[in-house]
Chain A
Amino acid sequence: MTKEDLKIKLIELFPQFTTEIPSATIDESGTWLKMNISKEDFLNVVTQLKTNLSFHFDFLFCLTCIDWKTHLTMVYHFTSTTHRQPLVLQITLDREHPEIETVSSIWRTAEFHEREVYEMFGVNFLHHPDLRLLILPDGWENKRPMLKDFEDPINMIKL
């Protein structure tokens, strides 16, 4: 499957693109197709990406978050072991109270990746089976060290 095929299929299947004011956008400028969707559509879209056999995105190879100082962006990189055409999914979140549905019941690798994003960026993953600190030691809850305005005068040296 090529990038163009994937784009056509996505537009066919998701009504978000076809209404007069589309709530989702597709960006073709990068190596891979990038799709921006709203938080409300998220669970529906990812479930279809996994279960719909014309997509069959069964491999979530990267899950991370970016702090843009005004908002957070969740970034999901999917690919499929059948057609091998990667897709990037981005969802904008509120910076103060970031919340999003977990995908750990769809891709099990997400459980660890989401725990990492939770402790580093403070994103609350709803319905996650075990949302605890993974890498940071006890006492670092809600410190969100990967945010751009994080300050630690003892352990951090500013260049």
Chain B
Amino acid sequence: MYRETDIVQDTSIEGDLIINVGPQHPSTHGVLHLVITLNGETIKKIEPHLGYIHRSIEKMCESLSYRQFIYVTSKMDYLSSHINNHGCALCIENGLQIEVPPRAQAIRVLMDELTRMASHQLWWGANAMDIGALTPFFHAFREREMINDIFEETCGTRLTMNYMVPGGVMADLHPNFQKRVKEFIPHFKSKIVEYDELLTDNIIFQNRTKGIGIISKEDAISYGCTGPVARGSGVYCDVRKLNPYEIYSQLKFDEIIETGGDCFARYMVRMREMKQSLSIIEQLIDVIPEGDFQAKTKAVLKLPKGEFYSQIETARGEFGVYIVSEGGTTPYRIKFRSPGFSNLSALDFMARGSKIGDLIAIMGSLDLVIPDIDR
């Protein structure tokens, strides 16, 4: 429920300073505009202004066929494009009752987990850079480059892969895939120890993040936070565990929960998640089933009349695809529930009362991807 201080919208009190962060600011990692009301150095209110990269993807999808619109979703959360494609493919398969072959399921899970690691690595470097440590950025990109090379071999591109299609994946794995991933696993295992030595155990970094931007469990649920942001506050919300898709129910991994609710807790969730993703890949890489990589589907897909919703866990949280179909070849209405949009709405609540210098640390811990928020 609203507290009295929250309802106050008129902030033109004498002595308050209003400053703009963005739209072009190095720590927003995109075009996000924040209007911040300050009293001295203390943040009184943050008002996000969105839409600088709004492309109206939902409206666009209404005139694209079920095979076409998946490619547009790669451009939303460009760091989890595999998982975005996967979410849309799941929703269509759900509507058409398509059985995905076991090989395709294993490939999808492998790609999702590689994406999650690549995304967390980029976040790790960028978050450290925001706070003032430049070195981690280069370490993170070294490992991310290896994953991108693996993607490039199999999918042909490095960022917006468009690899998952309704019924399976677009092409079979490259012959080098298993070899390359097996090279990457021990390499990253040795490097993640370095990550901890370099940043996690660093006392300056801990002082900058511990006790900053606290959000309680109840507030995180009320704000609709998902992913590492909610799990840092002790909310069980991993879709892979709660509502398992593909072969996740057969795999052994832990849902990472921290209870601090501050920037450091969110940081630790992502660091530990990378190790879990690595363990999932280790379990799967030697036992990829043989067989088809794509189910046989019709050339033109037509979803039956009705409403379909699919959930999937991206690197940032729960991504939802809601399709309303009238039985035609294009969706009648489509809604993307993006994790960043809800996580951003909690920013004002988290940052109120902290110092302006901490704002960048809080924003970094949310791991915002702006095209995902604007859509």
Q: Do A and B bind each other?
A: yes
Chain A residues near B (Cβ < 8 Å): 29-32, 34, 58-62, 64, 66-67, 75, 77, 81, 84, 88, 105-109, 111-113, 129-130, 134-137, 145-146, 158-159
Contact, CB under 8 Å: A62 / B320: yes
Question: Is B307 part of the contact surface with A, judged by Cβ < 8 Å?
Answer: yes
Chain A: which residue is nearest B306 at the CB level?
A30
Interface residues of B (CB under 8 A from A): 1-2, 6-7, 9, 50-51, 54, 56, 58-59, 63-64, 94, 218-219, 221-224, 226, 235-237, 242, 306-307, 309, 318, 320, 322, 324, 332-333, 335, 337, 341-342, 344-345, 349, 374
Bound: A108/B2 CA distance, A: 8
Given A32-B309, A135-B50, A58-B337 contact (CB < 8 Å): no
Chain A CB within 10 A, most for which of B63, B223, B224, B306: B224
Q: Is the beta-carbon distance between B51 and A62 smaller than 8 angstroms?
A: no
* B342 in contact with A130 (CB, 8 Å): no
Pick the residue among B63, B223, B235, B341 that contacts A81 (CB under 8 A): B235
Contacts of B218 in A (CB 8 A): 58
Measured CA separation A53–B234 after assembly (Å): 21
A129, B342: Cβ atoms under 8 Å?
no
User: Which 6 residue pairs of A and B lie closest in terms of their CB atoms, listed nearest first?
Assistant: A109-B224, A135-B51, A112-B345, A64-B335, A62-B337, A108-B222
A141 to chain B, nearest CB (A): 14
B59 to chain A: closest residue by CB: A146
Q: Which of A29, A60, A105, A112 contacts B306 (CB 8 A)?
A: A29
Q: Are B333 and A107 in contact (CB under 8 A)?
A: no
CB contact between A66 and one of B64, B222, B226, B324 (< 8 Å): that residue: B324
Contacts of B324 in A (CB 8 A): 66
Cα distance A134–B236 when bound, in Å? 30
